[in-house]
Amino acid sequence: MLRSTILGVGSYVPSRVVTNDDLARMMTTSDEWIFQRSGIKERRFIEHSGIGASDLAVPASKAAVEHAGLKMEDIDAVVFATLSPDYEFPGPGCLLNHKLGLNGKPAIDVRNQCTGFLYGLSVADAWVRTELFKHVLVVGAEVHSTALEFNDRGRDVAVLFGDGAGAVVVGRAKDDEHGLRSMCLHADGAGAKDLWIEAPASAYDPRITHAMIDEGRHYPKMIGKNVFRWAIEKMPEVAIEAVQKAGLTMRDIDLLVPHQANMRINQMVAMRLELPDEKVVHNIEKFGNTTAATIPMALDRAYKDGRVKPDNNILFAAFGAGYTWAGAVLRV
Ligand SMILES: CC(C)(COP(=O)(O)OP(=O)(O)OC[C@H]1O[C@@H](n2cnc3c(N)ncnc32)[C@H](O)[C@@H]1OP(=O)(O)O)[C@@H](O)C(=O)NCCC(=O)NCCS
């Protein structure tokens, strides 16, 4: 069976820069607290209400298609990963399909949070390998800023997240040696309520009440220490699994592009994998956690910085709410 590969990558962030000091004016926090625990200095927020995840995805998708040397009409299908869809339904895949002029082409939504991009990539990989589609656009895009609680009750979560989008075009690899060499996916719903937004919920009738809003149950809630513990265990585990499945050793890896949730998590992951810092891509300092967008955004940065060279082996690893975690190896 033919392998698939990433033919092009692009990203986009809104222009509004929000620093840690800006947040410290809205809640009891400090640049020092945020930076020490997460590595974040600033993040981007949408400029005004009315901009959804699918809007951020448009420029990222166009850049990815251009980088692939293709035209938009060459795209056969859209896979959209997000935890912050524009609306409850329909999903942002359909919205993006229309905004890109891909009317009539299939579009699906992936709801796997910080691991969403890799789950989406696995769908595109399967579609290309089975020759169902030739070129698949995989997008990760998030607007978090409209769901954060900018006060002391929500400060543990509010300081970590940012808005942004990343996209790749997946198509056929040139030969069996190149392209996606492994893909490993996992989930464990036992930790579902360690990081979640409770309402509105189909599990409740009505789905949301004024009282629930007053209690802030429509904002994300996180047991940070649990998330941290799971992440530093599962990310190295799945990274090793992906490298072994690719028939490689960690010494063969030229670049690790991890999900950007927390600098401390990524430093511990790199240490456990014995990968030196120069092989690890970080951009959390400038963008915070953009969930499904982090990996394509970081990969785009790595390409633009000239860090991706022909025949490089790139390792992806992600962990997020669900819990979900995934790893993949790509030879470019
Ligand atoms: C969230 C996280 C940074 C908190 O760090 P921590 O080391 O567990 O926090 P600490 O125990 O040092 O501090 C907690 C204290 O800081 C306070 N605090 C929480 N958010 C704060 C903020 N933004 N500013 C200042 N203080 C804050 C808490 O109220 C608590 O105070 P208390 O001790 O008086 O009760 C850390 O748990 C983490 O990174 N978890 C993973 C989060 C993540 O990656 N999520 C996304 C996954 S995809």
Each residue's pLDDT tens digit, 225-274? 999 999 999 999 999 999 999 999 999 999 999 999 999 999 999 999 99
CA distance 241 to 38: 26
CA distance 85 to 90: 9
Q: Read off the pLDDT of residues 87-128 as tens digits, 9 standing for 90 and up.
A: 999 999 999 999 999 999 999 999 999 999 999 999 999 999
Query: For position 232, what pLDDT does the model report?
Result: 97
The percentage of residues in the chain with a pLDDT greater than 70, rounded to a whole number, is 100
Alpha-carbon distances of 321 from 224, 236, 261, 271, 324, rounded to whole Å: 11, 17, 11, 23, 6
The percentage of residues in the chain with a pLDDT greater than 90, rounded to a whole number, is 99
Ligand 1 nearest atom to the CA of residue 261, by list position: 44
CA distance 310 to 134: 22
Q: What is the mean pLDDT of the chain?
A: 97
Catalytically active residues, by annotation: 114, 259, 289
* Ligand 1 lined by 129 (C-beta under 6 Å): no
Ligand 1 nearest atom to the CA of residue 158, by list position: 23
Name the residue of 228, 263, 294 whose CB sits within 8 Å of the most ligand 1 atoms, as the mutation to test its pocket: 228
Other Cβ atoms less than 10 A from the Cβ of 146: the count is: 12
Q: In which band, very low, low, confident or very high, does the pLDDT at 171 lie, cut at 50, 70 and 90?
A: very high
Is the pLDDT reported for residue 67 higher than 90?
yes
* Ligand 1 lined by 155 (C-beta under 6 Å): yes
Q: What is the DSSP string of 19-74?
A: EHHHHHTTSS--HHHHHHHH---EEEE-SSTT--HHHHHHHHHHHHHHHTT--GGG
Query: For position 225, what pLDDT does the model report?
Result: 96
Is the pLDDT reported for residue 42 higher than 90?
yes
| Residue having the nearest C-alpha atom to atom 31 of ligand 1 | 156
| Residue having the nearest C-alpha atom to atom 46 of ligand 1 | 261
Q: Mean pLDDT, to the nearest integer, of 299-317?
A: 97
Alpha-carbon distances of 262 from 31, 148, 291, rounded to whole Å: 15, 17, 11
CA atoms within 13 A on the CB side of 135: 20
* Ligand 1 lined by 29 (C-beta under 6 Å): yes
Comparing CA positions, the residue from 7, 9, 29, 6 lying closest to residue 19 is: 29
How many whole angstroms from 290 Cα to the centroid of ligand 1? 18
AA identity, residue 233: E
Q: In which band, very low, low, confident or very high, does the pLDDT at 2 lie, cut at 50, 70 and 90?
A: confident
* Ligand 1 lined by 136 (C-beta under 6 Å): no
The residue written with tokens 């698939």 in the block is 4
How many whole angstroms from 39 Cα to the centroid of ligand 1? 13
Ligand 1 nearest atom to the CA of residue 264, by list position: 39
| Residue having the nearest C-alpha atom to atom 38 of ligand 1 | 224
* Residues paired with residue 222 on neighbouring β-strands, in sequence order: 195
Q: Read off the pLDDT of residues 201-235 as tens digits, 9 standing for 90 and up.
A: 999 999 999 999 999 999 999 999 999 999 999 99
Q: Which two tokens stand for residue 5?
A: 């590969």
How many whole angstroms from 224 Cα to the centroid of ligand 1? 6
Comparing CA positions, the residue from 66, 16, 291 lying closest to residue 165 is: 291
Is the pLDDT reported for residue 1 higher than 80?
no
CA end-to-end span of the chain, whole Å? 18
* Ligand 1 lined by 294 (C-beta under 6 Å): no
Q: Read off the pLDDT of residues 192-203 as tens digits, 9 standing for 90 and up.
A: 999 999 999 999
Asked if omega into 106 is within 30° of 0 (cis), the reply is: no
CA distance 78 to 136: 6
Name the residue of 37, 235, 267 whose CB sits within 8 Å of the most ligand 1 atoms, as the mutation to test its pocket: 37
Q: What is the DSSP string of 187-247?
A: E-GGGGGGEE---S-TTSSSS--HHHHHTTTTS-EE-HHHHHHHHHHHHHHHHHHHHHHTT
User: What single-letter DSSP state applies at residue 274?
Assistant: T
Q: Mean pLDDT, to the nearest integer, of 147-160?
A: 97
Is the pLDDT reported for residue 319 higher than 80?
yes
Q: Mean pLDDT, to the nearest integer, of 163-176?
A: 97
Query: For position 60, what pLDDT does the model report?
Result: 98
